[in-house]
Structure 1
Amino acid sequence: MLKLAVQKSGRLHDDSMRLLKECGIGISNGANKLKTEASNFPLQVFFLRDDDIPQYVEDAVADIGIVGENVVYEKNKPVEIVEKLGFGACRLSIAVARGENYTSVQSLEGKRIATSYPFLTQQFLAKNKVNAEIHEISGSVEIAPGIGLADAICDLVSSGSTLLTNGLKETETILNSEAVLVRHKKFNASQQQLLDKLLFRIHAVKKAKNNKYILLNAPNEKLNEIISLLPGMKSPTVLPLADKGWSSVHSVLSEDEFWDKIERLKAAGAQGILVIPIEKMVM
């Protein structure tokens, strides 16, 4: 059985549980439950504080864990990142008061910086040869400059609205982060086999989210031009319609190129374009 550590609460918990569900793994996690087993996959789930997950994985109490990259690098434990999961995107950034004349990282020289990430903050300062005083605090970092505790902060930023509310501006990005799957370095063959099965499901779910299934009607005289715009997984599926001179074309488009391709398909003569989300995509 594989042992997985996830956040018991917080910004990654819901997305982690949703990912397991989308992978077809049934998990029952009632109120205040700290440990449970999947009903249809050899997986035991521990619900832990996010800061503790790297330590539990390093010690092989948990075999794998879902945690933010920011926590992995801050805790600096010898665990291996095996997969980026595509949710929980944020960045660890330096921010100062909006009215401050900030010109470069050298502007932090001699300043007081409040943060919950002292290791990464110190690494950043050392890399840039800046001497500053770090104040480690566990929460509400963004209020530190306003109450005179610090001149700047180093904290996680998503939309930036919290900084704006507290009269701060983002100046330097230390780390771009997202949720990752980590493992310890003492895996045996049976554990690796189970992890490979889990990764197979995760890859199918991620691939589906990054692609759309489209169906369209195409005049036959424009078919070659339209097909050239639709590579699909191998090549588009083309079926004749009852209406002579027309064909139905089925394909897959990646999210990144979706709107550009749709515009070009319309311009090439495609009609009745239907777009359908994909639940799983097995390559």
Structure 2
Amino acid sequence: MIPNERLRIAIPSKGRLREAALSTLERAGLQFRVSGRRLFSVCTDTGTRIIFTNTADVPVLVAEGVVDLGITGSDQVIEKGAEVIEHRRLGFGKCRLSVAVHKDAPYRTAQDLKGRVVGAKFVRLAREYFERQGVTGVRVIEIQGAVEVMVLLGMVDAIVEIVETGNSLVENDLVEIDRVLEAEAVLIGTSEPRDPAFCDQLIRRIDGVLAAARYTLLEFNCPASKIDEAVAITPGFSSPTIAHLQDESWLSVKVLVEKAKTQGVIDSLQQIGCIAILESELRHARL
């Protein structure tokens, strides 16, 4: 135990979600050091313990109240049937759970797999998928290793597996025939955290991290005669910040813009005569 322990957070000990989870917590203000194979880190300034564990175990630890918050894949939460609160979708670790078969196999739909053997790490999700599709007689077996190779070895006729880029499927002569679900990293929690007030505060901090990931700050000089057009192009989160310059024919503008729209917005601002357009990266934004 640590003195005055206020919160426990579980995150993956390895894999695609670990680094992004650590970065999110760090940008939310938690100060910690990750050391070798140590399975936890302590944030002494906030009384928080970060526990590194298997991704699939995070929903269980949260559901049982062993930890207060957890970061894991939304697919893992569904697979475990964990009764947890999904506080936020975090926007990273996006992937899909797909049904895949060998490229030369005669299977092209879920119905073609009736009476066949399917390998999966996510057994519950696989079975529920075939039930929804009305496909009977499918034998789903659990495989926790390299699922893709099992098709080549003839152990299974198809797999239900996580797909990010699809490169692994191509390398193993597999093709997707359907998608089971879309998934991403989520922040989950228990209904009774150790310190509810600090738990809520940390979630608000994480909201600030997520907002910073979504928006960028644009600063530019705009002809005073064009300010209404500029505001129409960049209305901002609530309203842009507009300041007068020494030359009264120009105005200085600061505004939040969604990152996905930034280049198009800059192009439009230039077209109406705006100059000195600067983009600044945000680390945190409370909106």
Q: Tell me, what secondary structure is at the counterpart of 1:232? A: coil
Q: Which moved more, 1:235-244 or 1:172-181?
A: 235-244
Measure the CA separation in 1 of the matches of 2:248 and 2:180. Answer: 60
Query: Offset of 1:252 from its aligned partner?
Result: 0.8
Percent of pairs identical after alignment?
A: 29
2:114 alignment partner AA:
E
Mapped contact 1:51–1:71 kept (Cα < 8 A): yes
**Aligned-partner SS, 2:226:** helix
Which AA in structure 1 matches 2:68?
D
* 2:190 counterpart of 1:181: no
Whether 2:236 is the aligned partner of 1:229: answer no
Which residue does 2:155 correspond to in 1?
Answer: 149
In the alignment, is residue 136 of structure 1 matched against residue 142 of structure 2? yes
Q: How far did 1:11 drift? A: 1.5
Matching residue of 2:116: 111
Residue 21 of structure 1 is matched in structure 2 by: 26
CA distance in 2, matches of 1:55, 1:175: 21
Query: Quick one: structure 1 residues 269 and 100, their matched pair in 2 at CA, closer, same or farther if it must change by over 3 Å?
Result: farther
Partner letter of residue 66 of structure 2? V
Which amino acid counterpart does residue 214 of structure 1 have in structure 2?
Answer: L
Q: Confirm or deny that 1:6 pairs with 2:11.
A: yes
Query: How far is the alpha carbon of 1:70 from its aligned partner?
Result: 1.2
Count the aligned residue pairs.
281
What is the deviation of 1:153? 0.8
- Post-superposition offset of 1:261: 2.0
Is residue 112–residue 133 contact of structure 1 (8 Å, CA) maintained in 2? yes
Name 2:100's counterpart in structure 1.
Answer: 95
Q: Which residue of 2 aligns with 1:269?
A: 273
Gaps of 5+ in 2: 1-5
Deviation at 1:103, TM superposition (A): 4.0
Q: Which secondary structure state, in structure 2, belongs to the residue aligned with residue 37 of structure 1?
A: strand
Match of 1:165 among 146, 151, 171: 171
- For 2:220 and 2:113, the matched residues in 1 are separated by 57
How far apart, in 2, do the equivalents of 1:155 and 1:209 lie? 28
Q: Which runs of 5+ in 1 are unaligned?
A: none
Confirm or deny that 1:120 pairs with 2:125. Answer: yes
Q: Secondary structure at the match of 2:151?
A: coil
The answer for the alignment partner of 1:42 in structure 2 is 47
Distance across 2 between alignment mates of 1:221 and 1:56: 59
Distance of 1:42 and 1:4 partners within structure 2:
11
Distance 1:130 1:146 in 2: 23
Q: Does structure 2 retain, via aligned residues, the 8 Å contact 1:25–1:39?
A: no
Deviation at residue 102 of structure 1 after TM alignment: 4.2
Alignment RMSD (CA, Å): 1.6
Q: Deviations over 1:6-59 (max 9, x none)?
A: 112222111111111111111122112122321322311111111222222222
TM-score, length-normalised on structure 2? 0.92
How far did 1:279 drift?
1.4
Indicate conservation of the 8 Å contact 1:240/1:246, yes or no.
yes
CA distance in 1, matches of 2:140, 2:278: 55
1:184-219 per-residue CA deviation (whole Å, 9 max, x = no partner) reads 23x06x622121011110001110110010011222
Residue type at the aligned position of 1:220 = A
Moved more, 33-42 or 137-146: 33-42
Give, as a single letter, the amino acid of the residue that structure 2 aligns with 1:134. V
**1:212 aligned to which of 201, 206, 216:** 216
Mean alpha-carbon deviation: is it higher for 262-271 or for 247-256? Answer: 262-271
- Report the alpha carbon displacement of residue 65 of structure 1 after superposing the two structures with TM: 1.2
- Could you state the TM-score of these two structures normalised by the residue count of structure 1? 0.94
Cα distance in 2 for residues equivalent to 1:82 and 1:272: 40
